[in-house]
Amino acid sequence: MKTRITELFGIDYPIQCGGMLWLATPELAAAVSNTGAMGNLTSGNYNSADEFAAAIDRTRELTEKPFIVNITTMPSIRLPVELLKDFFRVSCEKKVTALEIAGAPVDTFLGPEFIPMAKEAGVKVLHKVGTVKHALHAEKVGYDAITVAGFEEGGFPHGDNVGTMVLLPRVVEAVNLPVLAAGGMVDGKSLAAVLALGADGMMMATRFVATTDCAVHPNIHERLVQAQENETSLHLRGLLSAFGLQVRGLNNAIMRKIAEVEQAGGDLAELFPLISGQRALEVWKDGRVDEAMLTFGQSVGRVYDVPSVSELVARIVREAQTALTGALEKF
Ligand SMILES: Cc1cc2nc3c(=O)[nH]c(=O)nc-3n(C[C@H](O)[C@H](O)[C@H](O)COP(=O)(O)O)c2cc1C
């Protein structure tokens, strides 16, 4: 396959794994990249620049193929802005293929010198956006590509609540950059649909959790396969209002508790123990699916099995061809 995204990254298939705190590790990144798609190494997994640099080296031991580094540019106690700047610098020093920025734009959150730094190092920079306005800003300040994440997405959808079906073509029409579609993507039908809507590829995250290469407890895989499309809920709109964001995750006991605290006007001190990333880290390992925020998207409703990453990517490519040919035959 050949699109502006396969050309930009130097990959075979226009499929990227999204940033996933604790789960987008060197092992998963390499498994995805080795298929010819684009693996993701999420910098937020690491507590120092050295640990992160070692993770890049580890990924390179496991694959010779390109991979992307996610930097989530949001205020965090564990990941202060200075550390995020270090993650950016290390990525440039190590000349990773690309950076996926999610949250505030690099030029305002880290500083105006960072995009030129990436250009100098030959590192491509993508911004994940949930509005046309943010896509236009990214184009203006020199990003190389855009990831459009619709309201369906797991993690932090934009508070405008616009779904991928409308937001994606709006962004494609507004900017002159390669575009990846995210939010609700799971299979070859998703890829065919977003290519038809003008995207250059798709990014997915929830679907990659449901693979044997993603190191989570079997209970997590079982819950992903069972979950229906109406089993996610949205929270933390108040807490994340400065960013216009909210959180989407599986509607489990902890999400219902978060909703109660929010309705009672609870503040960060009350919410923090429920939403802390540490909780999720434990649950991915011990499988107590009701005990942490599991940031799955509406795409859970279309996860039916737990293949290996290589089976999944091969299947997506086959299915996309069949879906596109099938659509043409209807003319
Ligand atoms: C388990 C999990 C953890 C995530 N962690 C992050 C993260 O650390 N940073 C980020 O930018 N997005 C994160 N996301 C959001 C994804 O990168 C992506 O935008 C979204 O999940 C796409 O929608 P989908 O899950 O329907 O494919 C996470 C998603 C999941 C499923």
Mean pLDDT over 52-64 rounds to 98
Cα-to-centroid distance, 281 and ligand 1 (Å) = 14
Cα-to-centroid distance, 208 and ligand 1 (Å) = 10
Q: Which atom of ligand 1 is nearest to the CA of 300?
A: 26
Q: Which atom of ligand 1 is nearest to the CA of 100?
A: 11
Ligand 1 close to Cβ of residue 184 (< 6 A): yes
pLDDT band at 64 (very low <50, low <70, confident <90, very high): very high
Cα-to-centroid distance, 326 and ligand 1 (Å) = 31
Ligand 1 close to Cβ of residue 301 (< 6 A): no
Q: Which atom of ligand 1 is nearest to the CA of 147?
A: 19
- Structure confidence at residue 242 (pLDDT): 81
Ligand 1 close to Cβ of residue 150 (< 6 A): no
Cα-to-centroid distance, 19 and ligand 1 (Å) = 5
User: What pLDDT digit, counting tens, does each position of 243-300 carry?
Assistant: 889 999 999 999 999 999 999 998 888 998 999 889 999 999 999 999 999 999 999 9
User: What pLDDT digit, counting tens, does each position of 186-245 carry?
Assistant: 999 999 999 999 999 999 999 999 999 999 999 999 999 999 999 999 999 888 888 889
Mean pLDDT over 294-308 rounds to 98
Encoding tokens for residue 95? 């000349």
The model carries a pTM of 0.97
User: What pLDDT digit, counting tens, does each position of 146-161 carry?
Assistant: 999 999 999 999 999 9
- Structure confidence at residue 238 (pLDDT): 84
The verdict on domain 4-215+303-329 having CATH code 3.20.20.70 is yes
- Structure confidence at residue 239 (pLDDT): 84
Q: pLDDT exceeding 90 applies to what percent of the chain?
A: 94
Specify the residue with its C-alpha closest to ligand 1, atom 8. 21
Specify the residue with its C-alpha closest to ligand 1, atom 3. 20
- Structure confidence at residue 268 (pLDDT): 86
Residues 216 and 195: their CA atoms lie apart, in Å, by 31
Ligand 1 close to Cβ of residue 21 (< 6 A): yes
Specify the residue with its C-alpha closest to ligand 1, atom 21. 154
Ligand 1 pocket mutation, candidates 180, 206, 248, criterion most atoms within 8 A of CB: 206
Specify the residue with its C-alpha closest to ligand 1, atom 11. 102
User: What pLDDT digit, counting tens, does each position of 171-184 carry?
Assistant: 999 999 999 999 99
Q: Which atom of ligand 1 is nearest to the CA of 298?
A: 26
Backbone angles phi, psi at 36, to 5 degrees: 105, -5
> To the nearest 10°, the Cα dihedral for 211, 155, 25, 32?
50
Nearest to 5 by CA among 213, 182, 183: 182
Residue 145 has pLDDT above 90, yes or no: yes
pLDDT band at 77 (very low <50, low <70, confident <90, very high): confident
Q: Which atom of ligand 1 is nearest to the CA of 23?
A: 1
- Structure confidence at residue 281 (pLDDT): 97
Residue 169 has pLDDT above 90, yes or no: yes
Cβ contacts of 257 within 8 Å, gap of 6 or more: 274
Within the chain, which residue ranges are assigned CATH 3.20.20.70?
A: 4-215+303-329
- Say if CB 308 and CB 212 are below 8 A apart: yes
Residues 53 and 136: their CA atoms lie apart, in Å, by 32
Cα-to-centroid distance, 278 and ligand 1 (Å) = 16
User: What pLDDT digit, counting tens, does each position of 93-125 carry?
Assistant: 999 999 999 999 999 999 999 999 999 999 999
